[in-house]
Amino acid sequence: MKREDLIKLLLSKMGRSIVRIEEMPNNDIIMEIYTDDLVPIMVSMKKDEDLRFTTLMNQLGVDYGESFAVIYNLYSFDLDNKLTVKVYMDKDNPEVDSVEHIFRGVNWFERETYDLLGIRFKGHGNLERLLLPPDWEGHPLRKDYVYPEVYNGLELKRKTLLEE
Amino acid sequence: MAHFLTEEMILNMGPHHPSTHGVLRFILQTDGEMMRRAVPDIGFLHRGIEKIAELVPYQSFMPFTDRIDYLASACCNLGYAVTVERLAGIEIPEKADYLRIIAAELTRIGSHLIGLGALLLDLGAVTPFVHALRERETFNDLMEALCGARLTHNYVRIGGVSHDEPPSFREKTRKFIDHIENEFIDEFNELASFNTIFINRMVNVGVISPEQAIEHCLVGPNLRGSGVKYDVRKNDPYSIYDRLDFDVPVGHGKFGTLGDCYDRYWVRVEEVRESCRIIRQALDQMPESGAIRTKLTRAFKPPKGEIYVRTECPRGEMGFYLISDGGASPYRLKIRTGSFTSMAIISEVSQGVMVADLVAIIGSFDIVAPEVDR
Amino acid sequence: MHSLAGIIYDFLVARFGRSDLLDPLFGLAGYLIPCFVVLGVVSTISGLLTYFERKVSADIQNRIGPNRVGPYGIFQFVVDGIKLFLKEDIIPDAADKFLFRLAPYIVFSSTILAAIVIPFGGPFIIADLNIGLIFIIVVSSLVVVGFLMSGWASNNKWALLGGIRSAAQIISYEIPAAFSLLTVVLIAGTFSMQEIVMKQGPWPWNWFLFHNPFTFIAFFIFVISGLAEINRLPFDFPEAESELVSGYNTEYSGMRFGVFFLAEFANIFVSASIAAAVFLGGGNIGLDPYKSGIVYQLLMVLVFFAKVLTLCLVTIWVRWSLPRLRIDQMMSMCWKYFIPISFSCLGLTAVWLLIFNGNGIFWRISG
């Protein structure tokens, strides 16, 4: 399917939830939607006969300074379509609905996003740190993250020769 | 009839266990030899590569991509380079494209050799592993001749490749792929793949149906092992893969159920043959001489924008989601790797199998720990 | 007295004269001297087998193998032994210390015990017991106690799993192994190892291996069960390194580990010797082992060791070319196939002997 056609189709199907939709490099489409509509949109993405975005290829969180965003890369094996879905959320309370019950493979992606960016996923079964130790403080991929100097009595800050 | 009071045993497998490739840890709930489930505990090799990407310039990040998957560094290099080039709209010379493909496919052969050998090593057959390493040695020599490094190649650069082909590289590569295609794979199959014990260990173990594989976002050989014919090189071609003719091997339940460990293994064996085909075509088509690199400015800054590029690594799709704010280093770079989702499915597949089967399952996914943790 | 002990006793009596005081001493010496000699010989052979295995595996894998210590690296096993001696012997805090210390020696001694009744060719047998074969079957099962003990005493879950695996495995495979040995007993009509060897002949058609089709099957069942009993690949479950780290000997280090290691190789040798003596005619070259000259006796030893080393080579060859079975596959192989087959071999051999009046398949040639 051509990108223009897909954009038209998406606008006709879920136009009310879409904030912004435009073409993206690499033959991709980026679609920004309202945060509250994430779950219904993902359900119809997967179930709709014309879209059939059966798999979620990638998920990531971004810290935009004043707000956070979560990005989902969807792919349709049957129709060979790509789509990037983006939701923004408040910096003070970064929280979004989990889509784990729709795409089960997203489980670890959401855990990783929570671990590295501190975005909470409502309805996720096991939202714990994945890559970092359970007692780590802070979320390293945030732009205002300060690297700790000591972790469990371990000196983390490496001194250069000049500083010594 | 007397009732024995039994309780489940919690076993800690790893981080230093002979069959966890790299530093992985599994928490096993076992009832004797039978396993209730295995919960992976990852993060021992987390180096924060995505954070590093936000701190270094675009070109300087290239050596770090080697370390994402050190068994297939040229493929990772290629993925990152293609991502940045597509965002910035950089055209690269034709010869560089061919050299990249040759390096990436050689790496795929080298990586699969280790993957297949290590799986057999986990199942107790030491000899096939050593034979596979013997062939990998030739691959290492070829890559050393090409770029001077044997493990972390750092060969592909943004805008081209680092070195032109050395003299007699084409003949040596041809000899290597001829040997692999005509002699080694057959010998390896006779020694290991068609061994009855091996088949019995692999067949009907760790079965993943196509629906389950798609549901859990499996990619690469693990997805194709479940019978889904999907390869980024074919479905969403990057570089010059659209000019080359090759097949996408899929599992079809060779000896047992579709999507069992043997299918995933066999897909890898077939992929080695396909890589040989690709390299042979690339060697034939590659121009004799020409530029190998587009010169970039030292303070290279791609335009503002977002891009998601998927490339096919030996362990499946490697996706780079790059967000640029027009600065000298990426604003955010997310690296999606194949082993990550393979690892996530293990706790599901491992329910009700034996401890020995878990080893086969981990091996058949060909998981490399640093790729999971990044 | 048809044994080395008797010969030494006779020699001592002839040298020093018979006296009531020294007589028990001579008797004791008759047993002790060969015992120590055999202990030394078996240990050295096990050591050499480690070297042999490394060289053979290197050949299989396109490597060179040990080549630094001595000519062709032949003293590598000595150096390995010294290294193991010098290593610290660590006993885990939570281990059952007494059992932990004891286990390797039980394993090793029960292995070596079987060597008492092995006919090394000619008169060289420590004690030609009239229950020799039963003795072998009994003492080789004792290994289980050592394995289970080490697995339990280590207080390590992997070691415990390994110990339990080895108990299940060795006890199971003891049965087909014993049945296939009994097949030969039916033909030979004796349990004495020396007599079993003497009832065979120098040529392959004289061997019990080719006596009838059922002994032929029994031989292979014995060799495979032997592999299982000595924990070699494809049956090395108790120490499957990719599954159980190192199995029952996970926590062992230093010389205690070395003893386990030595016991494993001594086991290969013992198992191969039994197969060679019982099925392949041992050191029989068609002469009476006690009445022929020393040259012929040494020739018998040579023949015996040639057969044993061939079998050891097969063991090593199998180890380096096959992957490991799974534990349930191994158990079902034993209980569903090996035990019924070996049992029917036993019965059918009896029927064969009844029909053909005790003659083998080649009885016309062998006369």
In order, the DSSP letters of A143-160 are TT----SEETTEE-PPPP
Instruction: Report the domain count for chain A.
Output: 1
Q: What angle do CA C309, C314, C318 make, to 5 degrees?
A: 145
Closest CA to B97 of B85, B111, B115, B109: B85
The pair of three-digit structure tokens given for residue B155, joined into one six-digit string: 């060969």
pLDDT higher than threshold 70 for residue C363:
no
Q: Which chain B residues contact residue A71 at CB under 8 A?
A: 321
Mean pLDDT throughout A87-110?
84
In this predicted model, what pLDDT tens digit does every residue of C177-219 receive, in sequence order? 888 888 888 888 888 888 888 888 787 777 888 888 888 888 9
Mean pLDDT throughout A59-74?
86
Domain ranges (residues) in chain B: 48-373
Asked if residue C32 is part of any domain, the answer here is no
Asked if residue A135 is part of any domain, the answer here is yes
d(CA C260, CA C278): 27
Which range is least confidently modeled, C113-122, C305-314, C329-338?
C113-122
B124: contact with C, CB 8 A cutoff? yes
Q: What are the C-alpha distances in Å from C9 to residues C6, C30, C118, C296?
A: 5, 5, 19, 22
Mean pLDDT throughout C353-359?
79
A108 contacts: CB under 8 Å, gap ≥ 6: A130, B340, B341, B343, B344
The answer to whether the complex's ipTM is over 0.95 is no
Q: Residue A130 and residue B42: Cβ atoms within 8 Å?
A: yes
Q: What are phi and psi of B317, to 5 degrees?
A: -65, 130
The pair of three-digit structure tokens given for residue A161, joined into one six-digit string: 């020769």
What pTM was estimated for this model as a whole?
0.85
The residue type of C136 is I
Predicted local distance difference test score (pLDDT) of residue C1: 45
> Looking at the partner chain, which of C61, C157, C240 has a beta carbon nearest the beta carbon of B130?
C61
- Going across the sheet that includes B9-13, the strands are B9-13, B25-31, B34-41
Give the DSSP per-residue string, C232-286: -TTS-GGG-HHHHTTGGGTT--HHHHHHHHHHHHHHHHHHHHHHHHHHS-TT--S
Q: Which residues of chain B have pLDDT under 50?
A: none
Confidence of residue A86 (pLDDT cuts 50, 70, 90): confident
B25: contact with C, CB 8 A cutoff? no
pLDDT-above-90 percentage for chain A = 0
Predicted local distance difference test score (pLDDT) of residue C87: 85
The residue type of A4 is E
Fold of B48-373: Cytochrome-c3 Hydrogenase; chain B (1.10.645)
**Which helix (H) or strand (E) segment is C16 a member of?**
helix C4-16
Domain region containing C165: 91-366
Return the CATH number at A118: 3.30.460.80
The strand pairing partners of C164, in sequence order, are: none
d(CA A119, CA C85): 57
Q: What are the C-alpha distances in Å from C39 to residues C44, C77, C115, C255, C306?
A: 8, 17, 8, 17, 20
Asked if residue C2 is part of any domain, the answer here is no
> Looking at the partner chain, which of B87, B336, B344 has a beta carbon nearest the beta carbon of A25?
B87
Domain region containing A33: 3-155
Asked if residue C189 is part of any domain, the answer here is yes
B21: contact with C, CB 8 A cutoff? no
**Which helix (H) or strand (E) segment is A62 a member of?**
strand A55-63
Q: Residue B51 and residue A62: Cβ atoms within 8 Å?
A: no
Given phi > 0 = left and psi -120 to 50 = alpha, else beta, which region is B10?
A: beta
pLDDT higher than threshold 50 for residue A116:
yes
Chain C residues touching chain B at CB-CB below 8 Å: 57, 60-63, 157-158, 161, 164-165, 233-234, 236, 240-245, 320-329
> Looking at the partner chain, which of C161, C323, C329 has a beta carbon nearest the beta carbon of B124?
C323
- Taking the CA of residue B336 and the nearest CA in chain A, the distance in Å comes to 6
d(CA A119, CA A111): 9
Predicted local distance difference test score (pLDDT) of residue A1: 67
Instruction: Report the domain count for chain C.
Output: 1
d(CA B160, CA C169): 59
